[in-house]
Structure 1
Amino acid sequence: MEVIFTVSKWEEKPVDDSRKDFPINIAHVEYEIDGELKGRAFVEYLLYYLESSINDGHLATAKISGFLHFEGTYKGKQGTFTAIEQGIFDKGNLDSPATIIKATGDLKSLTGSYNYQFTGPTSKMILDFEF
């Protein structure tokens, strides 16, 4: 199943400006998600740039690791879930498979995974969820 998301916030900075040999950035991110999964996601990413930097923007390549926390509804059921993501951002494409590690509310029994797909200006999450 596919849902559409938009990035409503992306704030990124070095974890520690004084350590040039520890080039890890942290990004505080928010997504607006629409479709059978509807709501907001709050994401904390750690990024390690590979032969590029934050200044390269969408042309950059970075290893990423993060946690996504979703608040909203899935198939009309209200709740939250937290997922762990790990992958790579490569020149505008995010390949970061994720797995749900905990869900609450009416989504308490939700399990599964998701990944991202970018087709032109549309950003999608491909969901593989089960109750």
Structure 2
Amino acid sequence: MTSAKQPSRVCFQLQIDPARLDEYLARHSPVWPEMLAEIAASGRRNYSLFLGAGATLIGYYETDDDAAAQAYLAASPIAARWEAEMARFFVGLHGRPDQAATPLTEVFNLHDQLTASATNESTTP
């Protein structure tokens, strides 16, 4: 019996230069159509960016293979051009934003815990 691999949930944090926040937001409304296509082609889905206090940016996406998605975008000339233009908006970043962001550790997921709870209940005598 083969079990389906769970998609990876990836969350990351970046710090936007507060002096450039308005321009950063404007650049994302909308993102270049060709960059949107590259993100989708990489296998990333359910991708969102959230703005927090002090111009902290939190990103989230799901993918079946994050290493493959990273490799795809690393080799993409479109992504390289987008990331080169976006790099100036970030503080303390060394490298391309899509590859140098600080990953966050997931500590809770409702779906996973409900699924585990239901499984445990069905196997309890």
TM over 0.5: no
Higher RCO, 1 or 2 (CA under 8 Å, sep at least 6)? 2
TM-score, normalised relative to structure 2: 0.26
TM-score, normalised relative to structure 1: 0.26
